[in-house]
Amino acid sequence: MDDQIAVLGPQSAALTAPELTIVVPTFNERDNIRPLLDLIAKALDGDNYEVVFVDDDSRDGTLPELQAVARTDPKVRYIHRIGRRGLSSAVVEGMLSSSAPYLAVIDADLQHDETLLPDMLAVLRGGEADIVVGSRYVEGGGMGEWAASRQLISRTATRIAKLIIRAELTDPMSGFFMLTREAFAGSMRNLSGQGYKILLDIFASHPDTLRLRELPYEFRTRQHGESKLDALVTWEYLMLVADKLFGRFVPVRFLMFLIVGGIGVFVHFGVLSLLLKGMGADFQLSTIAATVTAMTFNFFVNNLLTYRDRRLRGVWAIVKGLVSFYIVYSLGAVANVGVATALFERDYVWWGAGLAGVLVGTVWNYAATSLFTWKQKK
């Protein structure tokens, strides 16, 4: 019996759950995987931690690299996501896959200072805060070699963040932080999962003001791979803010759909005017051409912005999506005219009947395209 206990003891110790889970979202970061793990191991030497990579179906060899590392290092796990994109949702999935009492987020691009991790963990262990954020804007921090234009965008986004959070957070755009399991649990059911700024989402989604500590760090220059920051990331950030401001009343995706549709009206009349006035074309043919052009415009812009997380890729997927979009919008036009005509014939004021028709058509277009054109992948 004593011999049996001696054998089981070390195995039980080896199976002890990690105290800290570090979530690393990845997309085409093959050359950064092993350097990042080496830096984390050096920083957290002696601590009980794990690293969970959440990969959005990279095609550069990141996945074979993750598989090779996970087979030899018990501290490493990975989640391979197919048909889903986005840093925020990746972070949430990584955190939900863990039972650790402390959760951290760090980018795979080596731009964050991993030597801050022990200090973050010490603050949380001591009960001094619910969340510890690596900040570029507190004394001792810095933006590194970022261009002035990117620094201006970051600082502007920081000011906008004040619209939706109460905490005195100097760097809401930071992607480098650590929090308690309880803090995450308080936010997770209200998270929008929109875009790339999960830290801001966590603060804005929590019913209470989280106790905060910020620690300074100097932002580094990316060594391998390409930056994921582009104009669409800025758009997603604004949509996250809009979701927190208005999402309880109207889904932010519906607002985006309306904005795109409103721009499509101008496209319609621009094409109609060009054909009629500029080229002397037949009115009926001009109307058909303007309608098809506006619908095509709406499809591609919605595919790029409104449904970025479900974006259709590849020629065949886009052709099928465009055809279904045409069909849905054609049925929506029929519903619009039918409702407006029926109400007008019942002596409703003309503009009221017309508005009701537009409303029915718009809701139909939004609902049907969500179900058929940009169907949620399972």
Listed range (22-26, 28-32, 296-300, 306-310) with the worst mean pLDDT = 306-310
The per-residue pLDDT for 226 is 55
HSE-CB for 241 with a 13 A CA cutoff: 17
The per-residue pLDDT for 323 is 93
pLDDT tens figures, 297-342 = 999 999 988 887 788 888 999 999 999 998 988 888 777 677 767 7
The per-residue pLDDT for 73 is 93
The alpha carbon of residue 342 and the mean position of all alpha carbons in its chain are separated, in whole angstroms, by 42
Token pair, residue 270, equals 């621009």
Contact 90, 54 (CB under 8 A): yes
Determine the average pLDDT of the residues in 242-256.
76
Reply yes or no on whether the pLDDT at 12 is more than 60: no
The per-residue pLDDT for 153 is 65
Question: Quick one: three-class SS letters along 273-292?
Answer: HHHHHHCCCCHHHHHHHHHH
Rounded CA-CA distance 205/190 in Å is 5
Tell me which DSSP letter residue 219 carries.
P
3-class DSSP state for residue 305?
A: helix
Rounded CA-CA distance 170/158 in Å is 7
3-class DSSP state for residue 162?
A: coil
Contact 132, 171 (CB under 8 A): no
Rounded CA-CA distance 135/141 in Å is 6
Determine the average pLDDT of the residues in 115-133.
94
Instruction: Give residue 45's region: left, alpha or beta (phi > 0; psi -120 to 50).
Output: beta
Helix (H) or strand (E) holding 23: strand 20-26
The per-residue pLDDT for 154 is 65
Contact 134, 177 (CB under 8 A): yes
Confidence tier at 13 by pLDDT (50, 70, 90): very low
Nearest Cα to Cα of residue 52 among 84, 90, 16: 90
3-class DSSP state for residue 195?
A: coil
Position of tokens 């049925």? 331
Confidence tier at 88 by pLDDT (50, 70, 90): confident
Residues 6+ apart with CB under 8 A from 293: 267, 268, 271
Token pair, residue 132, equals 């510890």
Average pLDDT over the chain reads 81
Beta bridge partners of 25: 54
Contact 295, 326 (CB under 8 A): yes
